[in-house]
């Protein structure tokens, strides 16, 4: 290493950059020749002088000494490193053309397409969605620039920060007709890009409602990226389902304890995504036991939260409304909920009920033919719910009640709206329908219904009903002490009076169910007429169709 040896030895380098140094004068003779006998390439100046700025080597240039300006042979008396000229006057053309302000075209050719490289990995669609977000996340974090960081592909080489627009002097004010500065363009692109949304639904009904919202969002903003905790409906709507809901869905206080470790692990994964600023908006659908914690995590990360289908705090915990402080906007589906939450400081908006967006039921005779039933004979519909736990608790009582009804009225036909998640042992003469329950509602003259959204589905189909519900004994003991409303059935709460009879917990017996539903099978009975009047009021108060579209509008307001 001869160069290193010269630096470590006594003799100074022949190209010592210090002007007029003693080392440089010793290294040369007076006639401009180096001590080793060769012609000094810097003899014109007597010594080598460093330029004010030593430029970095360009891509693929050979290693060597930095390029240093030299004096011109025709003007050796002028300095070589810079030349001071007077500013051109009015009407005079500048010394250099406008193109001289552009960066060298050779710059960054090898790095221009780094952002176009696809992310490699063993993950599926969710992993690719995470990989695509990296440039946006880096831009949002505002980290300081580093040499050689990656950038997206462009139409040409990257230009220096203050010279990207020829004809505009650096630091001069921008005219209204001049192009935006690069920084403002990047800021504008960050605001106008399609939002990234996380939507969460922990049960089958919430999965269906969330899927309708995703469909409405995609219709308004096709480029929006949606990742989800949900099920098959969300997946069919175009969301990337990161975690499946089937193993998490439970009902009741005691039942939730068994799923607590799984929910905590899920919450930990979701928290990491929020802290990494993966999303512009979080949409939570029903499922309050888990979603209230998710809302707090999103708010802590600075992400706005839209909660769709509010927790029924008006029924069992008015004091817990403070838990909704992390929610930016609450979209409620029951008409009395908006006033309840607004009085307690929550920004609530009544968007209508999503069931009003469903297709109208087919005519009764057509529905009975589809089910293989006699159109001339009355039909009793059984609706024990969509969750496996609900079906397990209600099916035996519903099945035995149907047997009592058949014993009293042999002309009645019985059909159950089943779900693949449920088990229906010993159905007897009951016909099992595992497809859309809307056909069963359309065919039924009366129904045995699980409390909840099922009662609203029956109201929309104009089916008189008996409402029943069972919980784990400990969960029911806790719930009945916390209950703050006079009714459990939603049709009764919306109507403000008892429209349909309610049987809860121990009162759910085959005899009680059969005695309550038998009069409703006669459409001309007083009980059936009174119910139909009340159900008409419920349908009117549920609001117009378009709930999912209104929720999508609220979501885009928060995300924008």
Any idea what the CATH number is for the domain that residue 520 is in?
3.40.50.2000
Q: In what order do the strands lie in the sheet with 348-350?
A: 240-244, 225-230, 196-201, 281-285, 305-308, 329-332, 348-350
Domain with 410, as residue range(s), is 364-541
Could you give phi then psi for residue 344, rounded to 5 degrees?
-110, 15
Tokens 């817990």 belong to which residue?
A: 320
Cα distance between residue 40 and residue 25, in whole Å: 13
Rounded Cα distance, 493 and 316, in Å: 13
Cα separation values, 235 from 201, 229, 274, 368, Å: 12, 10, 21, 32
Scanning the structure block, which residue is given the tokens 């079906």?
Answer: 391
Assigned domain for 302 exists: yes
Q: Is residue 281 part of a domain?
A: yes
Q: Is residue 138 part of a domain?
A: no
- Return the ∠ at Cα 248 (arms to 245 and 252), rounded to 5°: 130
In a domain, 266, yes or no: yes
Q: How many domains does the chain have?
A: 2
Regarding whether 275 and 424 lie in a shared domain, the answer is: no
* Together in a domain, 522 and 377: yes
- Provide the token pair at 274: 């929020």
pLDDT tens, per residue, the chain with 560 residues: 444 444 444 444 444 444 444 444 444 444 444 444 445 544 444 445 545 554 455 455 455 544 445 555 666 665 555 545 555 566 555 555 444 444 444 444 444 444 433 333 333 344 444 444 444 444 444 444 444 444 444 444 443 443 333 333 333 334 434 444 444 443 444 445 789 999 999 888 899 999 999 999 999 999 999 999 999 999 999 999 999 987 776 555 555 566 678 889 999 999 999 999 899 999 999 999 899 999 999 999 999 999 999 998 998 778 889 999 999 999 999 999 999 999 999 999 999 999 999 888 899 999 999 999 999 999 999 999 988 889 999 999 999 999 999 999 999 999 999 998 899 999 999 999 998 899 999 999 999 999 988 999 999 999 999 999 998 888 888 888 888 888 999 999 999 999 999 999 999 999 999 999 999 999 999 999 999 999 999 999 999 999 999 999 999 999 97
Would you say residue 513 lies in a domain?
A: yes
161: in domain? no
Q: Give the Cα separation of 488 and 534 in Å (integer).
A: 16
DSSP secondary structure letter of residue 241: E
- 317 and 382 share one domain: no
CA–CA dist 185, 196 (Å, integer)? 20
């Amino acid at each position: 290493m001869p160069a290193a040896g010269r630096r470590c030895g006594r003799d100074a380098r022949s190209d010592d950059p210090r002007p007029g140094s003693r080392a440089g004068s010793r290294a040369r003779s007076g006639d401009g020749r180096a001590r080793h006998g060769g012609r000094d390439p810097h003899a014109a100046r007597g010594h080598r002088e460093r330029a004010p700025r030593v430029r970095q080597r360009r891509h693929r240039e050979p290693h060597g000494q930095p390029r240093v300006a030299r004096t011109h042979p025709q003007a050796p008396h002028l300095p070589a490193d810079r030349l001071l000229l007077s500013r051109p006057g009015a009407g005079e053309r500048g010394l250099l053309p406008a193109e001289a302000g552009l960066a060298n075209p050779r710059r960054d050719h090898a790095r221009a397409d780094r952002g176009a490289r696809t992310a490699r990995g063993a993950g599926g669609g969710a992993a690719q969605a995470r990989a695509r977000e990296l440039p946006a996340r880096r831009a949002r974090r505002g980290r300081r620039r580093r040499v050689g960081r990656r950038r997206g592909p462009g139409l040409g080489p990257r230009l220096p920060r203050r010279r990207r627009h020829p004809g505009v002097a650096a630091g001069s004010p921008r005219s209204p007709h001049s192009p935006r500065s690069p920084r403002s363009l990047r800021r504008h692109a960050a605001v106008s890009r399609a939002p990234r949304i996380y939507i969460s639904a922990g049960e089958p009904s919430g999965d269906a409602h969330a899927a309708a919202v995703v469909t409405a969002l995609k219709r308004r903003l096709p480029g929006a990226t949606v990742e989800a905790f949900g099920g098959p409906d969300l997946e069919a709507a175009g969301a990337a389902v990161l975690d499946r809901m089937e193993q998490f869905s439970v009902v009741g206080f005691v039942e939730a304890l068994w799923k607590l470790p799984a929910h905590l692990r899920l919450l930990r994964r979701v928290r990491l995504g929020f802290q990494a600023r993966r999303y512009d908006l979080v949409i939570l659908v029903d499922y309050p036991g888990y979603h209230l914690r998710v809302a707090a995590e999103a708010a802590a990360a600075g992400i706005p939260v839209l909660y769709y289908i509010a927790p029924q705090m008006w029924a069992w915990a008015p004091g817990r409304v403070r838990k909704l402080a992390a929610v930016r906007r609450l979209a409620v589906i029951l008409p009395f909920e908006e006033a309840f939450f607004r009085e307690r400081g929550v920004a609530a908006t009544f968007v209508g009920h999503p069931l009003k967006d469903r297709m109208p039921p087919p005519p009764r005779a057509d529905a009975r033919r589809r089910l293989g039933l006699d159109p001339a004979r009355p039909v009793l519909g059984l609706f024990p719910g969509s969750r496996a736990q609900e079906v397990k608790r209600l099916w035996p009582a519903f099945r035995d009640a149907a047997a009592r009804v058949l014993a009293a009225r042999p002309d009645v036909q019985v059909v159950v709206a089943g779900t693949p998640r449920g088990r229906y042992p010993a159905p007897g003469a009951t016909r099992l329908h595992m497809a859309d329950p809307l056909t069963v509602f359309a065919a039924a003259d009366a129904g045995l219904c699980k409390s909840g959204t099922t009662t609203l589905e029956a109201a929309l189909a104009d089916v008189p009903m008996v409402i029943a519900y069972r919980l784990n004994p400990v969960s029911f003991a806790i719930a009945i002490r916390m209950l703050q409303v006079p009714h459990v059935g939603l049709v009764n709460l919306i109507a403000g009076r008892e429209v349909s009879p309610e049987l809860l917990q121990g009162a759910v017996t085959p005899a009680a169910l059969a005695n309550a539903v038998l009069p409703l099978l006669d459409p001309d009975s007083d009980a059936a007429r009174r119910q139909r009047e009340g159900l008409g009021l419920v349908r009117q108060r549920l609001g117009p169709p378009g709930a999912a579209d209104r929720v999508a509008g609220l979501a885009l307001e928060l995300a924008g």
